Structure 1
Amino acid sequence: MSPYSVLVNAIFICSIIHQAASFSPVPRQSASSSTTARYAIALPELSLSMYLFASPAARRSQLKRDILALASATERGLIATDEQKREMEVLFARLEALNPTRDPLVEGGNKKPSVNGDWSLDYTTSDSILGKGGFPRIGPIIQSIDTTTLSAKNSEVVRYGIVDVPRSVTAELSPVNGKLTNVKFKKFMLGPIGFDAPETFRGSLDITYLDEEMRLTRGDKGNIFVLTRLP
């Protein structure tokens, strides 16, 4: 199970135990025609000439712009149509093929870019992380990574009716190679309530693209994640 998926599922169980989920969820708004129009304008088709003549840096920049435009138009993937999901998969794979960082998990000296730091989730295919059929996520979903201490933390705010509750999980990283790491979850927090994660709560992250601005990750359940670095 991916770190984000375990975060959502496990803390949701905890929230039921502590009766934090007794409120009705706030209904979500559906995609409008204006959103579709903005997406059509913001996400032009990549031309053949771009792939034939543009430099790798130029192609990366264009692909990142297209990915973020689609992520924004679909509300992190929450309202993405099947066609938009397929389009994102194509853009995702194209950017992966241009990955400038061979071993993002290997730290040494002043290695740049570094996977360390705070990252905002801009798009995912994981329904549980997006809160489909459950409680809406308010604001950014953040993942913090520190390879010097082999630790990570996921955090978000979830709205239960009229109550916004912060949730987080800390984890221990065990790198398998320069881009794949196993994840062992350590402690969950639901507001002020904390508890240790069960021993079986494990997952993995495969970092398939990394530069100074963006990170692409594939989870062990087949979901994809687009994250951008926070200041």
Structure 2
Amino acid sequence: MLGKTALLEMLAGKNRGLLASELDKQAILAAIAQLEDRNPTPRPTAAADLLAGDWRLLYTTSQELLGIDRVPLAQLGQIYQCIRVQEAQIFNIAEVKGPPLLDGLVSVQATFTPVSERRVNVRFERFIVGLQRLINYQSPAEFINQIQAGKRFAAIDFLIDPKKEQRGWLEITYLDEDMRIGRGNEGNVFVLTKV
């Protein structure tokens, strides 16, 4: 049985999955499945104290996220998922490194509703893409504070039309004090560590 430490060692140097070979991916998914079988928090949607906070992505199979790295002259930086349980909000933030003064940011704000002990439905509400310096981006927490205060940014910043049904779900399959594993409605796996 592989444990959490073994999984973290497997993820080291894989750049969130960008540098993982097919063999690496198979071994990582097997290690994830073993951890999920021993989830120490059987009702993660009820564990607000563990769930809340800022999480940094360690690994994903999401080609949509990893595809940001394929944009010309851009390199994928850190990716965060920040959960504000009291407000039932999720903020996905991807930092993008570019040429000097052109570092970017891609962010999606969503609300979530628990629908079972492990699953939340997610409704995407706001999309922000822009240059970090024009947004005055310093950190995920400070950026989220500005969003929650109602700030509009000098960026592509728009509300997502609720009629367009931009929805999904996330199942939390493993949760402890500093690691979270989830599986999304498109079949992707996400491994995150608390910041």
TM (norm. structure 2) is 0.78
> Which residue of 2 is the match for residue 196 of structure 1?
159
Deviation at 1:66, TM superposition (A): 1.8
Instruction: Give the structure 1 partner of residue 149 of structure 2.
Output: none
Q: Structure 1: how far apart are the matches of 2:106 and 2:192?
A: 19
Q: Is it true that 1:95 corresponds to 2:35 in the alignment?
A: yes
Alignment-derived partner of residue 209 in structure 1: 174
The yes-or-no answer on 1:158 pairing with 2:123 is no
- For residues 175-225 of structure 1, the C-alpha deviation after alignment (integer angstroms, 9 at most, x for no partner) is 111210010011111123210113321111000000001000001111101
**Amino acid across the alignment from 2:94:** E
Identity of aligned residues (%): 36
Residue 130 (structure 1) aligned to one of 48, 57, 66: 66
SS in 1 for 2:97: strand
- Out of 118, 121, 126, which is 1:187 matched to? 126
User: RMSD between aligned alpha carbons?
Assistant: 1.7
1: distance between equivalents of 2:6 and 2:75?
A: 25
**SS at 2:44's partner residue?**
coil
- 1:219 is aligned to 184
Is the 1:105–1:147 contact (alpha carbons within 8 Å) kept by the matching residues of 2? no
The 5 A counterparts of 1:3-82 are: 51=1, 63-82=3-22
Matched, 1:169 2:132: no
Matched, 1:104 2:44: yes
Larger mean CA deviation between 173-182 and 129-138 belongs to 129-138
- Higher-Rg structure is 1
**Shift in Å, 1:126:** 1.1
* Corresponding position of 1:118: 54
Partner of 2:145: none
The Cα of 1:161 is off from its aligned counterpart by 4.8
Aligned partners of 1:120 and 1:227 also within 8 Å: yes
> TM-score, structure 1 length as denominator?
0.67
